[in-house]
Amino acid sequence: MSKPSSDVRAFEAHATDADLDDLRARLAAARLPEAETVDPAARGRGRWEQGVPLADLVDLVEHWRTAYDWRSFEERLNQAGQFRMTIDGLGIHFLHRRSPRADATPLLLTHGWPDSIVRFIDVMDELAEPKEADAPAFHVVVPSLPGFGYSDRPATTGWGTEKTAAAWVELMGRLGYARFLAHGGDWGGNITTVLAGRFPEHVLGIHTTFAEGLPGLTMDGLTPRERTWAEGTRDFWRNRAAYAKQQATRPQTIGYALVDSPVGLLAWLLDKFAEWSDTDDSPFETISRERILDNVTLYWLTRTGASAARIYYESHNALDPELRVDVPSAITIYPNDVERCPRPWAQHRYRRIVRWGTPEAGGHFPSMEVPDRFVEDLREGLAAVLLAQGH
């Protein structure tokens, strides 16, 4: 293990009372549009056809203004172990939960958008200090992506997935973890793929809920289920990804609304939690209102709506088609995720798939939707990875 660096500073989150009062005042003064014009009899996902339904938003805004307790989550973050270090001139925030187990393996967890470190806050303790003695244990590191949360907001271009992956290697090395496991979903899965492909000498192996094949692959030879996955992914990017086009081309324009209006920010992020989760209607069927508000409030208090959106400007469609992953890889495709890559496509890039999982439940945010199943799946995947490495 490398010698830890002294450039690791403890960090505590503490919003000012003035910022919290300002948030509540803005929520109270919000100007809302009229209700959506979908069929009044619509049920389930049909209610969301034009976006977040007005009635749902009104209820959530009122709860945010009158009942939600940011201080409780702030304390949760502080108890988790927060730190910062500077890498390439940018302050990077991260959670670090060391396991008391002597046999623990370093594990890097990378979030995506529209989430944050909130994605993993409810699974860190169980991964570091499992209740079952025979379950694997991990030293868990959860960094905030550049421009997200308590990490600094880049002032210049260049902080895309490739630079972020290199920064993560530096971060882990300074913590004393010369070699480590990595997991991610959404942008975190993309970054995890880059980590494994570019830095195999540091990455023992990966587990990811994101897999991207190579350009130009055909559906020849795919099973009916795999064909459905591929067609669904293509439909998503053709017909339901306006948010990504906006953030990839004009993040500054949408950024003004996201930083100035808490209701605008809430609607922009909530829309994705609703559409991308494995639910019949509301995302609150599987994710608590408090957790989603923790996530949105973190964006709000850190004023990172615009800077987080820029990850699309930096890296949308930027995964190198020549990149190959030769470290052991465990890939899990959840049934209601918005991108589901068939294994025959994935194995062109991930050339040592040691476990392929297809759970019966879960969407784009499995660590928030089905945390117990997620932890079990992650452990099984990483166990297969370590076995392949002879550990």
Q: Write down the pLDDT at residue 269.
A: 98
For the segment 319-370, what is each residue's pLDDT rounded down to a tens digit?
Answer: 999 999 999 999 999 999 999 999 999 999 999 999 999 999 999 999 999 9
Prediction pTM value: 0.97
pLDDT-derived band of residue 1, with 50, 70 and 90 as boundaries?
A: very low
Q: If we measure between CA atoms, which residue out of 270, 272, 294, 240 comes closest to residue 364?
A: 272
Q: Which residue has the tokens 């890039």?
A: 349
Q: Residue range 8-23: average pLDDT?
A: 97
pLDDT of 13: 96
Question: Distance of alpha carbon 163 from its chain centroid, rounded?
Answer: 17
Query: In the prediction, which pLDDT does 283 show?
Result: 96
170-218 pLDDT, tens digit each: 999 999 999 999 999 999 999 999 999 999 999 999 999 999 999 999 9
Mean pLDDT is lowest, of 5-14, 225-234, 329-338, for: 5-14
Q: Do 190 and 197 form a contact (C-beta atoms < 8 A)?
A: no
Is pLDDT above 60 for 223? yes
CB 194, CB 217: distance < 8 Å = no
Rounded CA gap, 389 and 205, in Å? 8
Residue 391 pLDDT: 79
> For the chain, what percent of residues have pLDDT higher than 70?
98
Pick from 229, 226, 206: nearest CA to 352: 206
Q: Side by side, which strands form the sheet with 105-110?
A: 9-10, 82-87, 90-97, 138-143, 105-110, 180-184, 203-208, 329-332, 353-357
Cβ(95)–Cβ(108) under 8 Å? Answer: no
For 133-159, what is each residue's pLDDT tens digit? Answer: 999 999 999 999 999 999 999 999 999
Residue 2, pLDDT above cutoff 60: no
pLDDT at 141: 98
Instruction: Kindly write down the DSSP assignment for every residue of 325-350, as one continuous string.
Output: B-S-EEEE--TT-S----HHHHTTTB
Q: What confidence tier does 40 reach under pLDDT thresholds 50, 70, 90?
A: confident
How buried is 135 (Cβ within 10 angstroms: 0-12 exposed, 13-18 middle, 19+ buried)? middle
List b or e across 69-96, with b for residues whose CB sees 16 or more CB atoms inside 10 angstroms.
ebeebbeebeebbbbbbebeebbbbbbb
Give me 267's structure tokens.
Answer: 């609607």
Taking residues 111-130, what's their average pLDDT? 98
Q: Are 121 and 80 in contact (CB under 8 A)?
A: yes
Report CA-CA distances (Å) from 211 to 10, 32, 183, 239, 365. 34, 39, 12, 20, 15
Which DSSP helix (H) or strand (E) runs through 363? none
CA torsion through residues 86, 90, 93, 97, sign: negative
Number of other residues whose CB lies within 10 A of the CB of residue 6: 8
Print burial letters for 154-174: b (CB count within 10 Å at least 16), e (below 16): beeeebbbbbbbbbbbebbbb
Measured on CA atoms in the order 246, 249, 251, 252, is the torsion positive or negative?
negative
Following CA atoms 109, 288, 369, 14 in sequence, which dihedral angle do they give, to the nearest 10 degrees? 0
Question: Domains, the chain, ranges and CATH?
Answer: 9-388 (3.40.50.1820)
Pairing between strand 105-110 and 138-143? parallel
Backbone angles phi, psi at 137, to 5 degrees: -120, 155
Half-sphere exposure at residue 294, Cβ-oriented, CA atoms within 13 angstroms: 22
Residue 314 pLDDT > 60? yes
Is 106 in a helix, a strand, or coil? strand
Q: What is the DSSP secondary-structure string of 45-105?
A: GGGGTTSS-HHHHHHHHHHHHHT--HHHHHHHHHHH-EEEEEETTEEEEEEEE--S-TT-E
Q: What percent of the chain has pLDDT over 90?
A: 96
